[in-house]
Chains A and B, each alone.
Chain A
Amino acid sequence: DTEVTQTPKHLVMGMTNKKSLKCEQHMGHRAMYWYKQKAKKPPELMFVYSYEKLSINESVPSRFSPECPNSSLLNLHLHALQPEDSALYLCASSQDNRGVGYTFGSGTRLTVV
């Protein structure tokens, strides 16, 4: 298995909703990432988990809450989002914390209404 699987592919949520994005990989990768990509912009890093511990938080607002239940799973919990948070959320993994073997999922298209 050489894939990173993200669910759901599309999500529409209201500003008072709570939802979660899920990401899964079975490549034995020990680093997992969340990136955010606005339309016609490059992806920007949000969070990094290395060996199941949060190692980087790029000053992301607390309405985004990451969770790494085990080495194969990564979640992003969403609460009280704003319309400007609408974007493509990409999950990625790599073999280790040196970024070797970066593999991206197909993303979740999030719309906040």
Chain B
Amino acid sequence: KQEVTQIPAALSVPEGENLVLNCSFTDSAIYNLQWFRQDPGKGLTSLLLIQSSQREQTSGRLNASLDKSSGRSTLYIAASQPGDSATYLCAVIKGGGNKLTFGTGTQLKVEL
């Protein structure tokens, strides 16, 4: 059974800092990995999708990397802003399937 873990569970940083969120998964037979953002009580917004054949994806201040063999992904956020405050979830899809298995989430707070 795929298990997805995120570290840290919570993170508080001052505005402007660069930060790294970590995601690890136990079964490397994945089709892709996605990073989502969730604001309190809201739905999920897709941030980045990395196919299993790719090593990284970038969008604006966000960069996500994938090391499938070691079962790890990182989300790098540059120059953090208070508007980045949210819960960040990574999720994997197993090859041949379409079920998202989510990580435990990192609750981020960026303070002024």
Question: Residues of A with Cβ closer than 8 Å to B?
Answer: 4, 6, 31, 33, 35, 42-45, 48, 50, 56, 88, 90, 92, 94, 96-100, 102-107, 109
Specify which chain A residues have a CB less than 8 angstroms from the CB of B83 in the assembled complex.
Answer: none
Question: Residues of B with Cβ closer than 8 Å to A?
Answer: 31-32, 34, 36, 41-46, 49, 89, 91, 93, 97-100, 102-105
Cross-chain contact A97 with B98 (CB below 8 angstroms): yes
Within the assembled complex, what's the spacing in Å between the Cα atoms of A24 and B89?
24
Specify which chain A residues have a CB less than 8 angstroms from the CB of B98 in the assembled complex.
Answer: 31, 33, 48, 50, 94, 96-99
Within the assembled complex, what's the spacing in Å between the Cα atoms of A90 and B44?
9
Of A44, A56, A96, A107, the residue contacting B43 (CB under 8 A) is A107
B56 → A minimal CB distance (Å): 18
What are some 16 contacts across the A-B interface (CB < 8 A)? A6-B43, A35-B100, A45-B100, A56-B99, A90-B44, A96-B98, A98-B31, A98-B93, A98-B98, A99-B31, A99-B93, A99-B97, A100-B32, A102-B46, A105-B43, A107-B43
Within the assembled complex, what's the spacing in Å between the Cα atoms of A100 and B98?
8
**For residue B32, which residue of chain A has the nearest CB?**
A99
Within the assembled complex, what's the spacing in Å between the Cα atoms of A45 and B102?
9
A55 → B minimal CB distance (Å): 8
